[in-house]
């Protein structure tokens, strides 16, 4: 094929791949939000078949040849070049996996995910355990087809955050352990902040009404998105004009649903602001988990927990729940949504203890894939680590090893990106604050100005640049976790007067 024929063939390939993606993501959305419980296993098996087909199409030798021929063209336009190079990198290991094993792995994960939901609801790890062990075994098998690496886990880490290895994460988490573990002990010993009013009764229907206030404040376009409820909140970007979010409402924890919604709106804002030319292109799928999480955490923590954010939004919340909040001044409310206290559930953890939840999962995953752990005691080891790092022990499976969806989906290597992305966000915030008066914009409901900054610096490029390139482009320097540590120590020293 000549150059133009190759480019045409690639465009056709991208259209086909994005069609598969659309079908699978729509099914995923349906299974997680509205489909009846009993129909899920049937749908999950068919989804596995579709994924297998998409996989087989991707690693078809004809396609691989087309990709390699394109990559060899010197004067290829930069967008196609990036897209092709990214695909070839992602396919380097995948193409070695036998398609039937891939399909079987996908189906096993879908079933495991279904059983996990049930096990969590019934607070019964024993129900989920054999499925988890099967997913671990198949994950090891899956990556065993890839070229050899000293650390099997490095393949998983790289799948979620390009170019990150165990060595890089070890350095990052060592810093967290060294600086935060002793500091958290001081916070625990300090005078505690009253959060009791956040745990009174909050009608979920009224909580949903408040989400309209938040969505309109953030200028989330409901003509290009929607909000639904799921067990584990997530964002589903089908195209730049269809980016949906889910949330959950906890009757006795009003902050949980709000912050979770803001978090997902951070993901949605990122996807909704891609340059339209990337719609349907592989570049749109190449935003790494770390960069994605930096955008959700930036909105949730660095903006959504600030007093300036709540100046225009708090009155609407008070108006919905006067019996709970009318006697609570804004400053007390803001202090309460920032309060730190070691807790068992990662998704509801405060900003300061959050990275320790991730550290625990990182250490567990690393040990699992180094074969350094007795798999029949995973739930106990989980509990031991909570005791070691946070001084508390889960009193049930649901608040321990069953709490997260990730392992049931075979998403090993994903967790570390949550802490990493939060640390990226600290560095992005520093750059944003040097360009914008962030607090005044928030207090005056000028969110679009902040969104424009994020679009110009980060979102418009989707996955065109690697995380390392993005950090340098936006902040002028390589990733520096010290900004994150400094931010946490400064914020919580002030909050707790220590
Ligand atoms: Zn997220």
Low-confidence residues of the chain: pLDDT under 50: none
CA of 16 to the centre of ligand 1 (A): 28
Gap between the Cα atoms of 453 and 486, Å rounded: 23
Q: How far is the CA of 330 from the centre of ligand 1 (A)?
A: 27
Q: How many residues does the chain have?
A: 498
User: Distance from the CA of 162 to the center of ligand 1, in angstroms?
Assistant: 17
The residues annotated with a catalytic role in the active site are 264
For residues 280, 283, 285, 288, the Cα torsion angle rounded to the nearest 10 degrees is: -160
DSSP 34: T
Distance CA 457, CA 469 (A): 12
Compute the distance between CA of residue 283 and CA of residue 274 in angstroms, rounded to an integer: 10
pLDDT at 376: 96
Residue 265 Cα, ligand 1 centroid: separation in angstroms? 9
Distance 350 CA to ligand 1 centre (A): 15
DSSP 353: T
pLDDT digits (tens, 9 = 90+) for 170-204: 999 999 999 999 999 999 999 999 999 999 999 99
Q: What is this structure's pTM?
A: 0.94
Characterize 286-315 residue by residue with b for buried, 16 or more Cβ atoms within 10 angstroms of its Cβ, and e for exposed. Answer: bbbbbbbbbbbbbbbbbbbbbbbbbbbbbe
Whole-number Å distance, alpha carbon 280 to ligand 1 midpoint, is 22
DSSP H or E stretch at residue 42: helix 40-58
Q: Which pLDDT score, from 0 to 100, does residue 379 have?
A: 97
Q: Which helix (H) or strand (E) holds 177?
A: helix 166-189
Q: How far apart are CA 56 and CA 81, in angstroms?
A: 23
Largest CA distance in the chain: 73
Centre of ligand 1 to C-alpha 70, Å, is 34
Distances (CA, A) of 6 to 39, 67, 68, 107, 205: 42, 8, 10, 34, 54
Nearest alpha-carbon partner for 383 in 366, 403, 407, 369: 403
Closest to 398 measured CA to CA, from 122, 139, 134? 122
Task: Output the CA 267–ligand 1 centroid distance in Å.
Answer: 7
CA of 357 to the centre of ligand 1 (A): 15
Phi-psi region of 391 (alpha: psi -120 to 50; beta: other; left: phi over 0): left
Given a contact cutoff of 8 angstroms between Cβ atoms, the answer to whether 109 and 408 are in contact is: yes
> What's the CA angle centered on 469, arms 466 and 475, to 5 degrees?
130
User: Positive or negative CA dihedral for 486, 333, 419, 94?
Assistant: negative
Q: Which residues are 237's β-sheet partners?
A: 243
CA 456 → CA 276, 278, 462, 473, 474, distances in Å? 13, 15, 11, 11, 10
Q: Distance from the CA of 497 to the center of ligand 1, in angstroms?
A: 30
- The H or E element spanning position 485 is helix 482-495
- What is the distance between the alpha carbons of residues 460 and 270, in angstroms, rounded to a whole number? 8
Nearest CA-CA partner of 342 in 177, 187, 498: 187
- Inter-residue contact 98 to 104 (CB < 8 Å): no
């Amino acid at each position: 094929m000549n150059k133009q024929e190759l480019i045409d063939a690639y465009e056709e390939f991208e259209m086909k791949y994005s069609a598969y993606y659309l079908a699978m993501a729509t099914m995923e959305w349906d299974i997680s939000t509205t489909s009846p419980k009993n129909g899920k296993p049937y749908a999950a098996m068919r989804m596995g078949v579709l994924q297998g087909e998409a996989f087989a199409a991707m690693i078809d030798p004809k396609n691989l040849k087309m990709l390699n021929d394109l990559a060899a063209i010197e004067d290829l336009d930069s967008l196609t070049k990036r897209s092709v190079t990214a695909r070839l990198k992602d396919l380097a290991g995948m193409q070695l996996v036998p398609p039937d094993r891939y399909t079987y792995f996908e189906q096993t994960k879908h079933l495991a995910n279904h059983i996990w939901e049930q096990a969590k609801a019934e607070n019964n790890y024993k129900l989920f355990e054999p499925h988890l062990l099967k997913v671990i075994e198949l994950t090891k098998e899956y990556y065993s087809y890839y070229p050899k690496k000293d650390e099997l886990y490095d393949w998983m880490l790289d799948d979620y955050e390009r170019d990150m290895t165990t060595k890089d994460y070890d350095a990052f988490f060592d810093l967290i352990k060294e600086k935060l573990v002793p500091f958290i002990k001081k916070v625990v010993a300090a005078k505690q902040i009253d959060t009791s009013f956040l745990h009174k009764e909050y009608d979920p229907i009224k909580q949903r009404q408040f989400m309209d206030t938040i969505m309109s404040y953030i200028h989330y376009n409901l003509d290009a998105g929607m909000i639904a409820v799921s067990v584990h909140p997530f964002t589903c970007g089908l195209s730049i004009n269809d980016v949906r979010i889910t949330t959950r409402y906890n009757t006795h924890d009003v902050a949980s649903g709000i912050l979770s919604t803001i978090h997902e709106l951070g993901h949605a804002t990122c996807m909704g602001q891609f340059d339209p030319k990337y719609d349907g292109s592989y570049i749109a799928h190449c935003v790494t988990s770390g960069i994605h999480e930096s955008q959700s955490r930036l909105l949730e923590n660095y903006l959504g927990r600030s007093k300036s954010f709540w100046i225009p939004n708090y009155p609407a919340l008070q108006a919905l729940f006067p019996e709970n909040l009318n006697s609570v001044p804004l400053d007390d409310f803001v202090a309460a949504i920032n309060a730190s206290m070691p807790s068992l559930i990662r998704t509801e953890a405060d900003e300061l203890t959050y990275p320790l939840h991730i550290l625990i999962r990182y250490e567990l995953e690393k040990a699992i894939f180094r074969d350094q752990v007795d798999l029949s005691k995973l739930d106990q080891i989980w509990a031991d680590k909570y005791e070691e790092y946070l001084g508390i022990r889960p009193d049930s499976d649901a608040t321990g090893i069953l709490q997260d969806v990730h392992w049931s989906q075979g998403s090993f290597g994903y967790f570390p990106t949550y802490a990493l992305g939060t640390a990226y966000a600290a560095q992005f915030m520093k750059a944003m604050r040097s360009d914008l008066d962030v607090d005044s914009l928030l207090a005056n409901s000028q969110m679009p100005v902040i969104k424009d900054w994020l679009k110009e610096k980060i979102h418009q490029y989707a996955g065109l640049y690697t995380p390392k390139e993005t950090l340098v482009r936006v902040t002028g320097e390589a990733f520096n976790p010290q900004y994150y540590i400094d931010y946490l120590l400064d914020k919580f020293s002030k909050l707790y007067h220590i």
